Amino acid sequence: MDLLLPIIKPYAWGSREALARLQGRTTPAAGPEAELWMGAHPSGPAGLTRDGRATTLLDVVTDDPHAELGTECAERFGGRLPFLLKVLAAEQPLSIQVHPDQEQARAGFAAQASDGGRGPYVDDWPKPELLHALTRFEVLAGFRDREEAARLLRGLEVEALRPVIGLLHAGTDERALSAALRALLEWPPEARADLVHSVVSSCRRAAGSTGPAAAAYGAVVRMSRHHPGDLGLVASLLLDRRVLEPGEALFMPAGGLHAYVHGVGLELLANSDNVLRAGLTAKEVNVPELLRITNPAVRVPAVTPTRVQGPGSTWLYDCPAAEFALYRTDLDGSRIPLVPATGPRIAFCLDGSASLRATAAGSTPVRLGPGTSCFLPDSDGEALVEGNGTLFVATVGHRPDRRDTPAQPSVPLI
């Protein structure tokens, strides 16, 4: 097994405190630190030292995928580590975004290749993801109920929104939500500033009341401080607002429109960086492609961990994703078998300490402290772990029959 040197992504919405504090570094950091990547994606592979030589997890897996991933995993995923583990620290709201399913990613990436590589797809993989809250984490995840969205917009008393409210009252739930989203994101450029100003002003007046509507309006006001004049502020009212408490988790399927607003969380996803954005960002947006990919029928379920049988206290966060699975072990000083026992694994120590050792003769233990991680190749086989603290283990999923199946039936946008 190998200690990992994660990659920090310094996106503007990141925190100067959270990741540095997690890793025991001086705070505040010199600049925003948004994501801690522990994986083998080409745009940010974690470093490691193997046989005395500095290399990356990507190179190690590429050189011998069958030993590192196991034959079944290597053949199933084309010799690629199928998951990417991150710590996400959102000090400011992330963009309103959506991720493609397998078929969409392959088609989009192939079309770009024939067009000189220009376009929004950076790889040919889907990007379903699991978010596990480490602090209170505010998210906009999936669409609201159609009638609820109409009530929110109507409560603003903004005359310009009347046609959008009318769309929400017409047609089926999915088609009505699709039509409303399209109307907002394709608002005439010359009228956008007035619309956003009117909506934010109304939200500011209404945010002082009580109830779910006030919370939704308050989120718009807070996001407007970071993204003034952004059309995504209006579109965000179509999305379902949730606040995850520490330890709670949700699964974001491909096609689900979402925006992570504020908090620190552990994120496990398919090994992809495909993101299509529509607002709340200074990065490039691609409204036509986002509208094509977004599926308003997608539901964003909470993920309740289930206890794994055996010694120790290990929990599985089961998701309908073939690419990944997440385990959490609450260490109490006992020496217990690491779960799972096979396959490629990335172990991440959230707090306390953990010592891991493969059971094979001659293996060397690896000690993890808060914010540190290691990679266990399939060739290491079974391992033991002991310590006191919280250890997460990311590994490949166990649902090969679902890899090429979208999470929800496609609903075309109108």
Domain assignment present for residue 229? The answer is yes
User: If pLDDT is split at 50, 70 and 90, which confidence band does 409 have?
Assistant: very low
Give the pLDDT band of residue 211 (cuts 50, 70, 90): confident
Residue 369 lies in a domain: no
Give the residue with greater pLDDT, 113 vs 224. Answer: 224
**Residue ranges making up the domain that contains 159:** 141-244
Coil, strand or helix: which one is 73? Answer: helix
Phi, psi of 60, rounded to the nearest 5 degrees? -60, -45
| Gap between the Cα atoms of 203 and 222, Å rounded | 10
Question: Number of folded domains in the chain?
Answer: 1
pLDDT score of 393: 98
Residue 271 included in any domain: no
Whether 151 is covered by a domain: the verdict is yes
Active site members: 277
Contacting residues for 297 by C-beta, under 8 A, at least 6 apart: 174, 408, 409, 411
- pLDDT at position 117 is 73
Provide the β-strand partners of residue 85.
38, 268
Domain assignment present for 39: no
What is the mean predicted confidence (pLDDT) over 90-106? 95
Of all residues in the chain, the percent with pLDDT exceeding 90 is: 87
pLDDT recorded at residue 403: 36
> Is residue 112 one of the residues assigned to a domain?
no
- For 302-308, what is the mean pLDDT? 95
The residue to which tokens 């209006």 are assigned: 234
Is residue 54 domain-resident?
no
**H/E element, 99:** none
Say if CB 269 and CB 324 are below 8 A apart.
yes
Please indicate, yes or no, if residue 237 is contained in any of the structural domains.
yes
Give the model confidence (pLDDT) of 122-176 as tens digits.
999 999 999 999 999 999 999 999 999 999 999 999 999 999 999 999 878 889 9
Each residue's pLDDT tens digit, 257-303: 999 999 999 999 999 999 999 999 988 899 999 999 999 999 999 99
Which two three-digit tokens encode residue 275?
Answer: 């993101």
Describe the crossing of helices 146-155 and 212-224 by its angle, rounded to 10 degrees: 70
Cα distance from N-terminal residue to C-terminal residue, the chain: 51
Q: pLDDT of 50-78, one tens digit each?
A: 999 999 999 999 999 999 999 999 999 99
Mean pLDDT for all residues in the chain? 93
- In this prediction, residue 398 carries a pLDDT of 75
Total-model pTM: 0.92
